[in-house]
Amino acid sequence: MPEGEIRIDRRKHRRVAKVLRVAYMVMPKEEAEKDILLISKKYVESADISVSGIQLICDEQIEPDRIIRLDVYIDDESEPIATFAEVRWVRHDDKLKKYRTGLEFLVIKEDHIAIIRKITGEQ
């Protein structure tokens, strides 16, 4: 019998594949980091999104537990979803030669949740 790996999806919210333009900034952990240009905006695309988080495709590896400031640009919306998120996991994608970065939203407005629910089809 072949050996396999069983994965249990612990997500509470429906996640859908969606390519969106995202601007992000890595927030400094300590006062000493404020001098380093971690706070410069970088633009990437998302791979998927849910009410609780988003997966980004990044050129750089961002260490887990870092706080990220995000602007997620939704096609029909005039203003982006502006929020903070925490890096939960990072994996290198050999095919893309980039990093898949899983973020969990820390703070998100109710109207932004409604926009994401519209995208995911979650009621």
| Model confidence pLDDT, tens digit, residues 7-64 | 444 556 678 899 999 999 998 877 655 555 555 789 999 999 999 999 999 999 999 9
- For residue 90, the cross-strand partners are 101
SS (H, E, C) 5-26: CCCCCCCCCCCEECCCEEEEEE
The domain 16-120 having CATH identifier 2.40.10.220: the answer here is yes
Determine the pLDDT at residue 38.
54
Q: What is the pLDDT of residue 44?
A: 97
At 80, list the tokens: 């982006």
* Mean pLDDT, residues 1-8: 49
Domains of the chain by residue range: 16-120
Q: What is the pLDDT of residue 29?
A: 78
Contact 47, 91 (CB under 8 A): no
Q: What is the pLDDT of residue 34?
A: 58
Whole-prediction pTM: 0.83
70-123 confidence digits (pLDDT tens):
999 998 888 999 999 999 999 999 999 999 999 999 999 999 999 999 999 886
Burial letters 22-61, b for 16+ CB under 10 A, else e: bebbbeeeeeeeeeeeeeeeeebebbbbbbbbbbbbbeee
Give the E-state strand segments of the chain in sequence order. Answer: 16-17, 21-26, 42-49, 53-58, 67-73, 81-93, 98-107
Secondary element (H or E) of residue 108: none
